[in-house]
Amino acid sequence: MDIVKDMLLPCIYSLIASIAFGVQFNIRFRHMLAAGIGAMLTQLIFTCFEVSGMGQMLCYFFAAAAVSVYSELMARRVHVPVNMYLVIGIIPLVPGGYMYNTMITLVGGDIESFSHQFAEAVGIAGSIAMGVFAVSAIVRLCRIITKQAI
């Protein structure tokens, strides 16, 4: 595999794109950079898992879990809502290609590939949600135990 093309460039793209998304969500510049690095890490972790031959859904799950951990830690450190980092961080994982293919195959009337693509897109979205779920639930549990502010 081509390290620059398959690994480095997507990371850089997700960094730039997530900083631009930060503008759309009205995040101040100093938070934007940290959030962008979160998105870059997500992409990097996702690629690493994918290269190691892990199943696709699990890759999405662990990448989403990783970005949740990063956001929780960063948010705790600089005292901002977790959302600010999480929303930006999971953007590289959005299965845009699968969603598009789902639509195109439906328009073309190819029901077999449509159901395949649709299941794939829904599965990926579910995996991402579960990744975020798992980490947030654990963090919540810890905070309830230690009686800290949520």
Interface contacts to another protein, rule CB under 8 A: 9-10, 13-14, 16-17, 19-21, 23-28, 31, 79-84, 86-87, 90-92, 94, 96-97, 99-100, 102-104, 106-107, 129, 132-133, 136-137, 140, 149-150
Distance in Å, CB of 147 to another protein, minimum: 13
Distance in Å, CB of 43 to another protein, minimum: 9
Which C-beta is closer to another protein: that of 58 or that of 100? Answer: 100
Q: Answer whether 84's CB lies under 8 Å from 27's CB.
A: yes
Distance in Å, CB of 98 to another protein, minimum: 10
- Rounded CA Rg of the chain: 17
Which C-beta is closer to another protein: that of 54 or that of 130? Answer: 130
Tokens of 74: 């960063």
Nearest to 1 by CA among 51, 37, 45: 51
Distance in Å, CB of 123 to another protein, minimum: 15
Contacts of residue 107, defined as CB under 8 A and 6 or more positions apart, other chains included, come to none
User: Cβ-count burial of 13 within 10 angstroms (0-12 exposed, 13-18 middle, 19+ buried)?
Assistant: middle
Which C-beta is closer to another protein: that of 17 or that of 54? Answer: 17
Which C-beta is closer to another protein: that of 21 or that of 49? Answer: 21
> How far separated are the first and last CA of the chain, in Å rounded?
43
